[in-house]
Structure formats: C-alpha cells, structure tokens
Amino acid sequence: MRNLRSIGIAAGLALSVSVPALNAFASEPTVPPVPATFPAEGKIKYVARDSILEFKALPEYHEPGWVTEKFVKAGKLPPVKERLPKEPLVFKTGNMPNGVGVYGDTMRHVIGGRPEGWNYGAGQTQGWGGIDIGLSECLTRTAPLFQVEAKDTEPLPNLAKSWDWSADGHKLIMHLVEGAKWSDGVPFNADDVMFYWDDEVMDPNVSPLNGATQETFGVGTTLKKIDDYTVEWTFKDAFPKQHLYAMAYGTFCPGPAHILKPQHPKYSKNTYDQFKNAFPPEYMNMPVMGAWVPVEYRADDIIVMRRNPYYWKVDEKGNQLPYLNELHYKLSTWADRDVQAVAGAGDFSNLEQPENFVASLKRAAEPNAPARLAFGPRLIGYNLRLNFSANGWGNPDERGQALRELNRNEDFRKAVTMALDRKALGDSLVKGPFTAIYPGGLSSGTSFYDRKSTVYYPFDLEGAKAELAKAGLKDTDGDGFVNFPAGTAGGKNVEIVMLVNNDYTTDKSLAEGVVAQMEKLGLRIVLNGLNGTQRDATQYSGRFDWLIRRNEQELTSVVQNTVQLAPVGPKTSWDHRAPESGEVDLMPFEKDLVDIVNKFVSSADNNQRASLMRDFQKISTEHVYNIGLTEYPGALIINKRFSNIPQGTPIFMFNWAEDSIVRERVFVAADKQAKYELFPEELPGKPGDKGPM
Ligand code: GLA
Ligand code: CA
C-alpha cells in the first residue's frame, strides 16, 4: 500500500498540479491559496497521554547477558537493580507499536554538522541530527505528544517524575526521579538542576545551546532547591502551565554538575571561554543521562556511542533500556543522510530537503527497498527574517544602521514580500504537490493555524516597486539597484547582507532564488553563506541584515519554544534582540505580539489560547513580521529492520523525529539484526578516558 502510494506520488510529479491562478496585479492583501492536498501516508494513531509511561518499581530487572557476564560478575559494575532508580521510568507495552523488544544492533545516523564539544549547557553544538537529543534528558518530554490529541496535551514527566501546583498557582513543586545516576554512576539530583539554572541559564555569560534564558520560563521566574529530589519554581503568573513545555528539550536538560562545575568560572580560575571549551570532541565518555554515551570520535568521520549502563528507563518486563547497543553518527552532509538512508547504508533520515524528494521516493517505492518512507504534515517551512534592532545589536556601521531602519519600515517590508514569487521559489526546489504558498507566521501544519487570519500580499512586482518608492528608495544612478536617499549611507546602492546556512542545499537554493527575485525589484543582496555553527554565532550576535532560517518549533507547534514567537525577552527572538546593554527597541506592532505571547503563556483556557494565536497570526502577517518563503511536508525515512516506530511520526513537531520515535525503546527483531556494532560487548569508560571501559 505504502509503496503503491509512493509510486503514485512519484508518477504524479510529471503532471502539473492545479494551483489557483494568481492574479499578477492583485496587490490587495488576501488570504493564502488553499494548498494542494498532499497524500500524507502516515496516519497518526492517537493515544491517551497517560497510556505512554509511568514510574514504578518492578519485581525484577534484566540487562543484556554480556553486561552481567563481562561487567557485573567481574565486579566492574553493580547489579542492574542497584544501578536503576527506586522507581524507574517504565514504558507501557500497550503504547509500544511492536511491544517489548530484544537487545542488540545499532542505529546508523548520518549528519551534516560537526561537534564543537560536549558542553551543551555552555552553548556547544554536538553536530545536531539527534546527537544532543540522545544525550540530553530533560525535566519533561514533549516529542512523543504528537500522538496525543491537542486537548489532552501536557508535557510528559521525565527527570521530573511528578509535580504539584500550589493553591494560588504561583508555585510549582517538582519531584525528581530518585536514585537515577549519570552514565558514570554518580547520582543525579537537585544539584544538577540548580547548577544548570544558577550557573548556566541565569549567568549572562553563558548561553545554553538552545538559548534558554530566564524569560524562557517567564519574566521574573525563580527556582530553588528544597531537598536532593525536590525543586520549587516560583512564577509571577498563576498556573503558567505553558512553562512545562520549556522544561523539555532543549531548554531544561541539565548537564553533569560534578563534571561541569569545577570548570565554571565561578568555581575555578577558568575564563568563560575556557569553561565552554573544556570538553572538546575528543573528550570521551562525557557523563550523560541519555541512553547512549560517546565513546569514539574521529574528525570528519564518525562519532560512536555505546549503551549507558546506568540508564534509568525500563520496559514493563523490567528490561533496562535502551534495546539498541550502539548509535553511529557518520560525519557527512545532510543531503548524504537522505541518500544513505534510502540506499540502506544509513538507517535514518528526516527527508526535509525537497531537492532529494523525487530520487528518494523512487528508491523507496522499489520492492526491495531497504527503508520505509512516510510523509507527514506540511511542517517544514522557511522564513526570511529582517534584523529589526535599531539600537545597536551587532554594532552595525552606517550602512547597516540605515538598513535596520529600512527593515523597520512597513512599506519596505511590503515591497519585499510582494516581490516574492513563492510559487516559483517552491518549484525551484521540487515540482509537484509538495510546496505551498506560505506568507509567513504560524505554520499551516499546526493546530493553531487559521487561514482566514493569515494576511497574504500576493506576488505583484509593479505593486512592490511602488511600495519601495513609498519607502523612499530610488535608483538615482541608473544601475538597476535602488539607492539610499542622499544623506543616508552616502546615497549608495542599498546593499543587503543575507545570512544563510551553507550546510543545506535547500537553504542555498532559497537564498539564490531570493537574490534573483530581489534583483528584479531593484534590491541588491549579498550572500553571507556560513556553516551552521558559524551561522548561529553570527546570528546570535546580530551581525546580519537579513537571514534565511528554517522554521523552529514556535511556528510548528506554538506551545514549544513559544517565547521565540516575539521579542518577549532580550534574547528570545531570532531577529530582534537587545544590544549588550539596553533593551529591545520594539516597534508598536511587536509590542502587541509580545503582549499576545505573554497572555498565551499565562492562559490555561484553550479557546482563549486559540483566539490569541489567531490575533498573533493576523498582526504578524499583516505587518510582515517574518517573510515566509515556502512550506512543505517532510518524510521520515527509516530502515525496515527497526521495530517500535510509531506510525505517522512527523519529522518535526514538538521536536525532531529522533526524539519522537523514542529511540530508547526502538529495537531490531532477533532475525533481522545486523552486525554493525563497532564496539561489541563494550561499555563506556571513565569520563575523559579514551574509548570504552
Ligand atoms: C538538524 C537536521 C534535522 C534534525 C535536527 C535534530 O537540524 O536538519 O533534520 O535531525 O538536526 O536536531
Ligand atoms: Ca543604483
């Protein structure tokens, strides 16, 4: 069935898809056209939230036989029962698509990023593609919620096994899992949580990888330790349940305080840079709470992770998880991830670059295809973002400053959005029913999306030119590009530096498309293409005029990373942050957006929240806050030998699919196991030691 449908899609690509004709001169704002229906293959099987997991002691526990034989019997490890918490996290069998699994085998990932080091809490990337997701365990977990109906949705317990609200709703007491241990056997407790909060989130010199700041958890929020397994949050608002989402990946995943604290400048002679870089990629066996531990790193080649013998989750039979002994991350390119996954040389890919859709679909439709491929909702999107800081973020020069002021000019933004031929941009990535016209704002795949509240300025080059003239820009020297008015930036051509992530073919294709389309408008764009890590650093320090950015969870789920929807704090927005000293210089409509987001976060009323997001969408698209480029569905590609992959897992919603498939309970049936383990029957060694135990 799946294969037939895939062939259908592949064959359909040749035919033209009917899209409502766009009136080239209709400059009146309207609503976006209804997107072509897309035959999503994966139907999600909805479940009740409390059917997924629980915390409880079981009568007996098990582990792979070789762990008992080689490690426990040799006195190198305590027995499994002693390594587990009093009440481990138990995944319920009924929620496991193929039930209780068996031990063995490897999941071979391929990634396009490169590790900077293991200090996630100090902002270092491990290369993405699921590495940091697998290392990190967070207070709550949201990725598996894609299978829970929106009305039943609240984050799942994880390191915080339960929580209670005070009667007035201003305090939240969280109970941490008791007796869980880091992968080196050291107990996990409230000190780890407090180190993350006090010395990483609250220390202005430290920025955790996914950008957690105090505002992420509400302006003025505080956290304190009550005892080893209890922490207490205090909020300005009553019952801000929304913050439970911020306690999931990637904003509340504490690192090992026993390893990190001695390197932190507050407790050592280190500088902040030395702290950040204290755990380079070569540093092996970094203690984690996640299911696998890094044991091998070869530059530009591979990172290997082995099972964490102290992992604190089990199945209902008492089998300690994970089932898979090893994970690989081949250090290659993102495009290669698709190629290898469909060919069977890799095991997993989020098919998210439309340039690879046709070839991947064809391969996956062949009868002997090694991998399954299933499309989900249209949740992958791109926006053009304009730097809105006119008070010094990123220290712009005279030209840069003049551009920031242009970016803040609504006529200018309308000119840009009206000059974009989004149909052509989408078709340049892939032909067929995949891409849709996306004006910006919330993704059409989220439950909060309302088409009627979306303001779309259709493609109209002449109208766009008129808007540009209204913004005061004319081509004074006749070279085809508009100039700044005399007296601004020397009256030179307006030249816009656009930041783009060079690691992705799609980002580069879209950037080139935008350059060409803006040239027709008379705007000259200069590309600043950087690798993902440098791109992030450049963006966070505000050194860009325009930026092309793939959408993140605030637009695809709304409830996750919500504060990134608007500049609610000095560092919460992608494109509008405060300079070192100072505040965010909000434009009037941004103030409205900030108010809406704050109300949304503090409201527990679903109808009110839906209505707030309709307002958000209206204001944000009407004032052209982000400039949408395109949106399309992604597909999960996964090797057919794996079991327990939930049907219809979207590649992105609350989090990426690497988290949504719940890798710790994924397994390979005994008769399908392959021999990919590079360190069979070995376990992680001591922190900092080379290689496994
Ligand atoms: C990168 C990839 C995504 C996903 C994430 C996980 O961003 O492009 O598909 O794997 O990493 O963090
Ligand atoms: Ca000119």
DSSP 619-644: HHHHTTSSEEEEEE--EEEEETTEE-
User: In sequence order, which residues have a C-beta less than 8 Å from that of residue 176 and are 6 or more positions away?
Assistant: 159, 160, 161, 188, 189, 190, 193, 228, 229, 230, 231
Ligand 2 centre from 410 Cα, in Å? 21
Name the percent of the chain lying above pLDDT 90: 92
Tens of pLDDT along 376-433?
989 999 999 999 999 999 999 999 999 999 999 999 999 999 999 999 999 999 999 9
Query: Would you state the pLDDT for residue 197?
Result: 98
Nearest CA to ligand 1 atom 4: 129
- Beta pairing class for 546-550 and 495-501: parallel
The residue that leads in pLDDT, 29 or 152, is: 29
Nearest CA to ligand 1 atom 5: 129
Beta bridge partners of 627: 384
Ligand nearest to the CA of 495: 2
The predicted model gives 142-167 an average pLDDT of 94
Query: Would you state the pLDDT for residue 581?
Result: 86
Residue 593 and residue 562: Cα distance in Å, rounded?
12
The predicted model gives 187-201 an average pLDDT of 98
Confirm or reject: Cβ of 309 under 6 Å from ligand 1.
Answer: no
Nearest CA to ligand 1 atom 6: 129
| Sheet (strand 380-386) strand order | 524-530, 495-501, 546-550, 380-386, 627-632
User: For residue 22, is pLDDT > 60?
Assistant: no
The predicted model gives 24-48 an average pLDDT of 79
Are the beta carbons of 391 and 21 closer than 8 angstroms? no
Name the percent of the chain lying above pLDDT 70: 96
Confirm or reject: Cβ of 532 under 6 Å from ligand 1.
Answer: no
Query: Would you state the pLDDT for residue 41?
Result: 59
Residue 678 and residue 328: Cα distance in Å, rounded?
9
Ligand 1 centre from 456 Cα, in Å? 29
Confirm or reject: Cβ of 200 under 6 Å from ligand 1.
Answer: no
Ligand 2 centre from 494 Cα, in Å? 8
Atom of ligand 1 nearest to the CA of 350: 9
CB atoms within 10 A of CB 155: 27
User: For residue 680, is pLDDT > 90?
Assistant: yes
Tell which one of 658, 659, 663 to mutate to probe ligand 1, the residue whose CB is within 8 A of the most ligand atoms: 658
Ligand nearest to the CA of 501: 1
| DSSP category for residue 177 | P
Confirm or reject: Cβ of 349 under 6 Å from ligand 1.
Answer: no
User: For residue 228, is pLDDT > 60?
Assistant: yes
Ligand 1 centre from 170 Cα, in Å? 35
| DSSP category for residue 49 | G
Query: Would you state the pLDDT for residue 25?
Result: 44
Confirm or reject: Cβ of 350 under 6 Å from ligand 1.
Answer: yes
User: For residue 8, is pLDDT > 60?
Assistant: no
* Residue for token pair 């100090």: 122
Tell which one of 656, 658, 659, 663 to mutate to probe ligand 1, the residue whose CB is within 8 A of the most ligand atoms: 656
Query: Would you state the pLDDT for residue 691?
Result: 73
Tell which one of 329, 350, 561 to mutate to probe ligand 1, the residue whose CB is within 8 A of the most ligand atoms: 350
User: For residue 26, is pLDDT > 70?
Assistant: no
Tens of pLDDT along 547-594?
999 999 999 999 999 999 999 999 999 999 999 988 999 999 999 999
Instruction: Enter the pTM of the model.
Output: 0.95
For 366, half-sphere exposure in the C-beta direction (CA atoms, 13 angstrom radius) is 12
Residue 7 and residue 1: Cα distance in Å, rounded?
10
Burial (CB < 10 A; 0-12, 13-18, 19+), residue 387, is: buried
Are the beta carbons of 575 and 593 closer than 8 angstroms? no
Ligand 2 centre from 475 Cα, in Å? 4
Nearest CA to ligand 1 atom 8: 129
Tens of pLDDT along 507-530?
999 999 999 999 999 999 999 999
Which range (11-20, 51-60, 77-86, 629-638) has the least confidence?
11-20
Ligand nearest to the CA of 491: 2
Ligand 1 centre from 421 Cα, in Å? 28
Residue 173 and residue 177: Cα distance in Å, rounded?
13
Which range (16-20, 331-335, 514-518, 565-569) has the least confidence?
16-20
Residue 423 and residue 429: Cα distance in Å, rounded?
10
Tell which one of 107, 126, 128 to mutate to probe ligand 1, the residue whose CB is within 8 A of the most ligand atoms: 128
The predicted model gives 130-155 an average pLDDT of 94
Burial code (b: 16+ CB inside 10 Å, e: under 16) for 480-516 equals ebbbbeeebbeeebbebbbbbbbbbbbbbbbbebbbe
Ligand 2 centre from 488 Cα, in Å? 14
The predicted model gives 275-303 an average pLDDT of 98
Ligand 1 centre from 249 Cα, in Å? 13
| CA distances, 9 to each of 33, 39, 155, 422, 430 (Å) | 21, 8, 35, 22, 12
Confirm or reject: Cβ of 503 under 6 Å from ligand 1.
Answer: no
The predicted model gives 125-151 an average pLDDT of 95
Tens of pLDDT along 626-660?
999 999 999 999 999 999 999 999 999 999 999 99
- What are the helix (H) ranges across 447-543? 461-470, 505-521, 532-540
Ligand 2 centre from 629 Cα, in Å? 26
Ligand 1 centre from 202 Cα, in Å? 27
Confirm or reject: Cβ of 130 under 6 Å from ligand 1.
Answer: yes
Query: Would you state the pLDDT for residue 39?
Result: 66
Ligand 1 centre from 272 Cα, in Å? 28
The predicted model gives 163-171 an average pLDDT of 98
Query: Would you state the pLDDT for residue 11?
Result: 35
CB atoms within 10 A of CB 256: 21
User: For residue 20, is pLDDT > 90?
Assistant: no
User: For residue 9, is pLDDT > 60?
Assistant: no
The domains located in the chain, with CATH, are 49-352+636-672 (3.40.190.10), 379-632 (3.10.105.10)
Tens of pLDDT along 83-94?
999 999 999 999
Atom of ligand 1 nearest to the CA of 113: 1
| CA distances, 612 to each of 188, 449, 450, 616, 617 (Å) | 39, 11, 11, 6, 9
Tens of pLDDT along 39-52?
665 688 899 999 99
Ligand 2 centre from 26 Cα, in Å? 28
User: For residue 12, is pLDDT > 60?
Assistant: no
Mean pLDDT, rounded, of the chain: 94
Are the beta carbons of 635 and 662 closer than 8 angstroms? no
Nearest CA to ligand 1 atom 11: 129
Confirm or reject: Cβ of 656 under 6 Å from ligand 1.
Answer: yes
Judged by DSSP in three states, 197 sits in: helix
Confirm or reject: Cβ of 334 under 6 Å from ligand 1.
Answer: yes
Ligand 1 centre from 130 Cα, in Å? 7
Confirm or reject: Cβ of 329 under 6 Å from ligand 1.
Answer: no
Burial (CB < 10 A; 0-12, 13-18, 19+), residue 45, is: exposed
Residue 461 and residue 415: Cα distance in Å, rounded?
8
Residue 550 and residue 374: Cα distance in Å, rounded?
21
